[in-house]
Structure 1
């Protein structure tokens, strides 16, 4: 018996629903990219008709995803009210997992911090970690009618995308082989988006940073282990299992020393602490060096040379438009970043280096965790391990 043709009315409704959904994504993406915009601005930038923009904005206002602000200063005609991503009516929670501590915060959809950061030492076991973090997340959940859009989590380690788990995490061994996103969702009831820390930093740069319009860029984090995140042709490189993105084990001398051992903030801190015979953190190490309390210029110049090897490797392999570097040791002396650029130039393919701008990054792990949720809202793409 031949099947009946689908109801044309239902097909029309489905098409209308899809179009409305796409319009919503487009408006959210424009607000994320440009900040506050009037309805007229949205019409001009998206190419969507004025009446459709009006309906879409009203839907977003009703859903508490955007808010209306003061009118713009129009040169001609009546000024229109500014529409911006919700900062008080909708929120995102962020959990940043570090080697020694965790950090919980809440933000608006614009990424701006709401309230205070809750920073606490890393628990000693997975069960203790899961219990404490879940409890703190529930207490920190936005209140007073604020709509929670999800929990973003940034964590170190390597993720296996096929098995949906953290496959390796030497700095926090109890996270290995755990399905953290699933466990957090079960304990808190919050939709959870889990990102490897370098992928989170790349996403933060693309959503909140200076790479919003870039399709090819890299983020290098020399804080602990010379982490690398690469976006090529608009796609984040993850590898077959999702394990791509670490230059730390790259050998840089005949003795087998690797970048993560001799070219990081941690190594700089240990070097200054040894010379000063004092237990200090990274800021203390920078202050001692700046104040002339220790003579470590030779050691630091060698670190800069090692770092330049890693940066030049990224330039030569991936040919990015921009490289963003995260690391505090470069603050120890005004010449260090300039010296790093010169050393990188000498080791890079000339054409690739000329076409690449290398700068310090303003992104951070909190924005990376937030970006996992906001990126899903504004693009429809899921960037996380689920």
Structure 2
């Protein structure tokens, strides 16, 4: 039984064909156009889906999953608002695809969907209580409590990046000051370098770099190359992340924290010091909480996972 999945993000849209066991057969990409609007995004998704079905050599699809970078009403298949694509506010994106492909279509926020993928296909298979954190341009996440995705009273649980770590710190995109995302998300890490570069003279790499070209990946690379300024920024970032993670641990007492997103690709350069920092930050509240790396292809599997999870919940 083949499943068609879409990942609608701020910079790209991907579509995959996979099965319920999490095997991905084929994948295509398109660059996101901010001016799609309702008809434009719908036409793009239909075209990508038809292309995949044809080139994969399959006869039919069983269901469709869409993950979206923004707040959604998953129960009703509605995009509540769209930070990256104009004109999608309160849009029922599932209805048109259901009419075209004649199968059930499921919608979920991308961070929540990745959390579900970890439960079905990743290191959370045997866990009942865990938290997933995505470290990318921003910071998001999802929470499983007693084997169920925790949605909250308004379906917006898991906004982990918007806990305040530094009162009166930098302004976050949400409007508050000192959120974890504003300090330790990819954009926040780069901002801390750009704002301090003129005051710090011992950087051997960033002093001659165009500020617009500085990002989290380059900062971690500079740290590996021995740049003292980059090392300071990375160490600060890990401390802020540890503070946020320990806050989550103290509130929810999970079995594990699973970390994904682009910054997680730094591997041991992130995870080794982060685990030590979390242990140190827990002080007298220590407990055996694992810090685990997320699936490498979590976004692809998330499209598939939301369809399987939803049907399991309906049984």
1:152 Cα deviation (Å)? 1.1
1:358 Cα deviation (Å)? 1.1
Q: Which residue of structure 2 aligns with residue 313 of structure 1?
A: 247
The answer to whether the 8 A contact 2:111-2:141 is kept is yes
1:315 Cα deviation (Å)? 0.5
The answer to whether the 8 A contact 2:131-2:141 is kept is yes
Q: Which residue of structure 2 aligns with residue 257 of structure 1?
A: 178
Q: Which moved more, 1:117-126 or 1:165-174?
A: 165-174
1:102 Cα deviation (Å)? 0.6
Q: Which residue of structure 1 aligns with residue 171 of structure 2?
A: none
Structure 1 stretches of at least 4 aligned residues deviating more than 6 Å after TM superposition: none
Which of the pair has the greater relative contact order for Cα pairs under 8 Å at 6+ separation?
A: 2
Q: Name which of 4, 11, 14 aligns with 1:103.
A: 14
Matches of 2:70 and 2:255 in 1, distance apart? 27
> Match of 1:119, SS?
strand
Provide the TM-score with structure 2 as the length reference: 0.81
Matches of 2:162 and 2:155 in 1, distance apart? 17
Q: Which residue of structure 1 aligns with residue 174 of structure 2?
A: none
1:330 Cα deviation (Å)? 5.0
Matches of 1:200 and 1:340 in 2, distance apart? 24
The answer to whether the 8 A contact 2:129-2:256 is kept is yes
The answer to whether the 8 A contact 2:74-2:106 is kept is no
Q: 1:204 to 1:294 in 2, by over 3 A?
A: same
Matches of 1:282 and 1:108 in 2, distance apart? 34
Q: Trace 1:68-83 onto structure 2 (pairs within 5 A).
A: none
Could you list the per-position Cα deviations for residues 268-322 of structure 1 after superposition, in whole angstroms to 9, with x for gaps in the alignment?
Answer: 3555677332626654554444334673111121111111122112101111111
The answer to whether the 8 A contact 1:219-1:228 is kept is yes
Q: Which residue of structure 2 aligns with residue 138 of structure 1?
A: 50
Q: Name which of 275, 278, 287 aligns with 1:354.
A: 287
Matches of 1:355 and 1:292 in 2, distance apart? 33
Matches of 1:272 and 1:190 in 2, distance apart? 48
Matches of 2:87 and 2:240 in 1, distance apart? 31
The answer to whether the 8 A contact 1:149-1:373 is kept is no
Q: Name which of 231, 235, 238 aligns with 1:297.
A: 231
Q: 1:105 to 1:294 in 2, by over 3 A?
A: farther
Q: Can you give the 5+ residue segments of structure 1 that lack an aligned partner in the other structure?
A: 1-89
Matches of 2:105 and 2:79 in 1, distance apart? 15
1:267 Cα deviation (Å)? 3.1
Larger Rg computed on CA atoms: 1
Matches of 2:23 and 2:264 in 1, distance apart? 26
